[in-house]
Amino acid sequence: MSVKEVDLKQDPACTTGLSNYLWSDHPDENKWADCVHCGMCLESCPTYEITGQEQHSPRGRVHLIKSVAEGKLAVNEQFMDPVFACLDCRACTTACPADVDVGGLIEEARGQIRQAMPLTGWKGTVSKVVLKGLFPHQNRLNSVGSLLRFYQKSGMQKVVRKTKLINIMPQHLVDMEAIMPEVKEPVRKKYKNENVIKAKGDTKAEVSFLTGCVMDVMFSDINEATINVLTRNGNDVTIPKNQTCCGALHVHAGDRETGRKLAKQNIEAFKDSDKIIVNAAGCGCMLKEYGELFREVDTEWHEKAEEFAAKVEDISKYLHDTGYEKPKAELNTRITYHDACHLAHGQGVRQEPRDLLLNIPGVEMVHMPNSDRCCGSAGIYNITNPEMASEVLENKMQNVPEDVEMISMGNPGCMLQMAMGVQKQGRNQKVVHTVQLLDWAYQKEDGKKEGH
């Protein structure tokens, strides 16, 4: 957005005195001031589509968040429900004529709720164990990864499935278990002794790579593919050692404090980088929004955060913008493309990955209607709101063409969720990351060359 009547908006709010937001870093009044309640966002919202209820719509949520600031509502369970039912998919931001940052408001409101009402019970456990205890700690994640590898390789998986041990797990965890990717060695482990992974051929540029926490454990082959594709196209790749989880899941969950902690660590870790490449849309979007975290708290970090954010780029957009070698080998496959919310709505990256795919010889792209509709993964939403997530997924799967061999996308969360959809519907489709397809095409090309 270019022109804004900044002077109009910086007037003191007459509502502040009544506000029921009691903690610092409260939802930004300027964000909701843009909302004129026109309702153009309604149909873009997956949770409104399912419930038909205003409080589960972007406009409704903004209205509620505003009502708390006006002192009409308290921060309580009833307020929490709609705010946490949001998928944070950002489709409303795309639909909004006034560019209202609903996602930002939701995250800020979640921050307030989490401070007012710390999580308890099973969700609290998940949050504590997974978000705080696991994601920020690469070695612990790796251990989990190893366990999973053990689980899959040792035959335990078969045993669990056969012995019906699986029957005592909650249904949504059973569904998740069924589609768990085969876990390989993380790239950070693999390249831990290399400062720079050199470009194949001449070096054109140097980039840093955020490997992502879960990504590197669960989807290390995608990270591998990303490195392959980058080095093949003349990029020296570094993997800064002190990098950590991006914090998206924490911020989505309202834990902005941890979010800030992780952000600071990453900002430090990447301070010497000119370009930061991400292959997970959710992480990319978060990194680009680090500035928001320091709007009110630790403001001395704000500028650094903005500088950091400006260097972040999704792999597909980076390749597209800087030029890359079009593969020559044919893949001969029918695919469709799903727009990850945090790529399409969050970063405005839509056409670039499609171009990457279409430039692979033999790839036939089948149109997916409503391709930028959320799949329901939304970070750990599918763990915390399983019912809604599964309805969102069901709606999504109705739009996924049946006559394709692969479904390509740019976010690991979506990949797990979509794989679950494929599994549930008994389909036989491979869920892949865009960059993987490109890597395979290169490999095939090279294989041919070597064969000759």
Partner 1 sequence: MAVKGIKSKDKHIINLANIIGDARSILYHTEDLIAYDCDGFTLHKHLPKAVVFPKNTQEVANLVKYCSENQLPFLARGAGTGLSGGAIPLNGEVIISLVKMKRLLSVDLENRRAVVEPGFVNLKLTNSIADKGYYYAPDPSSQYCCTIGGNVAENAGGAHCLKYGVTTNHILGLEVVMPNGEIVEIGTNGIPDAPGYDLLGLLTGSEGTLGIVTKITVRILKNPEAKQTVLAYFDRVEDGSQAVSDIISAGIVPAALEMMDKVAIEGVEAAAFPVGHPRDIEAVLLIEVDGIAAGLDEQINHILEVCKNRNVREVRAAKDEAERGRWWANRKTGFGAMGAISPDYLVQDGVIPRSKLPEVLNNINKISEEYGLRIANIFHAGDGNLHPLVLFDARKPGESDRALAAGSACLQVCADVGGTITGEHGVGIEKREEMRFVFSDEEINAQTDIREVFNPHNLLNAGKLFPMPGRCVEIKRDLKEKEAAIS
Please give the residue ranges that form the binding site for partner 1 (CB under 8 A).
1-5, 8-9, 11, 13-15, 33-43, 52-55, 57, 60, 63-64, 67, 72-73, 76, 78-79, 81-82, 94-100
Whole-angstrom distance, CA of residue 335 vs CA of residue 440 = 14
> Of 298, 408, 419, which is closest to residue 355 (Cα–Cα)?
408
Contact predicate 82/55, CB 8 Å = yes
Whole-angstrom distance, CA of residue 186 vs CA of residue 197 = 15
Nearer to partner 1 among residue 98 and residue 173 (C-beta): 98
Whole-angstrom distance, CA of residue 347 vs CA of residue 11 = 30
Contact predicate 157/402, CB 8 Å = no
Which of helix, strand or coil describes residue 334?
strand
Token pair 């630790």: residue: 298
Nearer to partner 1 among residue 48 and residue 191 (C-beta): 48
| CB contact set of 378 (below 8 Å; sequence gap of 6+) | 87, 88, 89, 252, 341, 389, 413
Contact predicate 284/266, CB 8 Å = no
Which of helix, strand or coil describes residue 277?
strand
Residue type, 429: Q
131: DSSP letter: I
Provide the minimum distance between the beta carbon of 107 and partner 1 in the complex, in angstroms, as a whole number: 19
Q: DSSP letter string over 215-262? A: HHHH-HHHHHHHHHHHHHTTEEEE--TT-----HHHHHTT-HHHHHHH
Burial of 61 (0-12, 13-18, 19+ CB in 10 A): buried
Nearer to partner 1 among residue 80 and residue 319 (C-beta): 80
Provide the minimum distance between the beta carbon of 1 and partner 1 in the complex, in angstroms, as a whole number: 6
> Of 28, 82, 22, which is closest to residue 55 (Cα–Cα)?
82
Residue type, 371: S
Nearer to partner 1 among residue 331 and residue 388 (C-beta): 388
Nearer to partner 1 among residue 50 and residue 126 (C-beta): 50
Which of helix, strand or coil describes residue 322?
helix
Q: How far is CA 261 from CA 104, 293, 322, 419, in A?
A: 18, 10, 32, 32
Q: Which ranges of 117-170 would DSSP assign to H, the alpha helix?
A: 121-126, 138-153, 156-162
